[in-house]
Amino acid sequence: MDARPLLNIKSLKEQVYEYLREQMRSGDLKPGSVIDMEETSKKLGVSKTPLRDALLQLETEDFVTILPRRKVIVNVLTLQDIRNYYEIIGALESQALLSAFDHFHDSDIKFMERMNDGMKKAIDDGDFDLYYEKNLKYHETYLNLSGNASLTKIVNQMKKRLYDFPRKTGFVKEWEEASIGEHRQLTSLIRTKKRQEAVAYIRDIHWSFKVQEKYISKYYAEIS
């Protein structure tokens, strides 16, 4: 019997975390399911310490709930969760954009335009993974320019919770097209140095649950 561990010895906690996140992203670990610590540690060929540490990180990111007697539940994403995340992300990204505004160079704006054009092509080609990747890079432009790494970390964790759990293979095309149009409008506001309008737009339009609800209800049709 081959007892070699499935993981490379690099940082066991990080390796276990990435393994569990991939299981969630792919849908192999479904919302509401139970993670058996004994079984998982044996499968990965690691002790319970790195597994427990990885689960603690996942709990702080709201992916799991650790209960007594070593029981771990994969959290279900609810409509109220989505509403809360949108409100928080909107507030944080608007602050990031405000902090970044005086640091934009023409090259940054052109990069955002290229990412948005890439999103359009990805949707036309039916490639949601590429669309998602370029969407993240578009937003990361001003998140990184804000200089606030803690804010960026929180935003990125919440986006993973929204879209990577599990990652859907399809998409709501009219939502993605509307988002591309919103990016185009936001980029125009940045280019013309309309600071307050841009900050309000990212908060009150792009990350407004009320504005986006008609699309959210289609994308997350299976939750309530």
What is the tens place of the pLDDT at every residue in 9-51?
468 899 999 999 999 988 899 999 999 999 999 999 999 999 9
What residues does each domain of the chain span?
A: 12-74, 79-219
Task: Report helix, strand and coil shares of the chain as percent, to nearest 5.
Answer: 70, 5, 25
Q: Which two tokens stand for residue 211?
A: 């504005």
Mean pLDDT of 93-112: 98
Q: Is the pLDDT of residue 165 over 80?
A: no
Q: What percentage of the chain carries pLDDT values higher than 70?
A: 95
Per-residue model confidence (pLDDT) at position 1: 45
- Cβ proximity of 15 and 7 under 8 Å: yes
Coil, strand or helix at 105:
coil
Q: Which two tokens stand for residue 76?
A: 């279900």
Same fold yes or no, 12-74 and 79-219? no
Q: Is the pLDDT of residue 8 over 80?
A: no
Q: Is the pLDDT of residue 7 over 70?
A: no
CA–chain centroid gap for 168, Å, is 13
Mean pLDDT of 156-167: 86
Work out the number of other CB atoms within 10 angstroms of the CB of residue 206: 21
Least Cα distance to 128 among 87, 95, 176, 160 occurs for 176
Q: What is the mean pLDDT of the chain?
A: 92
Look up the CATH number of domain 79-219.
Answer: 1.20.120.530
Look up the CATH number of domain 12-74.
Answer: 1.10.10.10
- Which run of H or of E encompasses 153? helix 149-163
Q: Is the pLDDT of residue 213 over 60?
A: yes
Q: How many CA atoms lie within 13 A of 199 on its CB side?
A: 16
What is the tens place of the pLDDT at every residue in 108-122?
999 999 999 999 999
Q: Is the pLDDT of residue 147 over 50?
A: yes
- Cβ proximity of 185 and 114 under 8 Å: no
Mean pLDDT of 163-167: 77
Per-residue model confidence (pLDDT) at position 156: 95
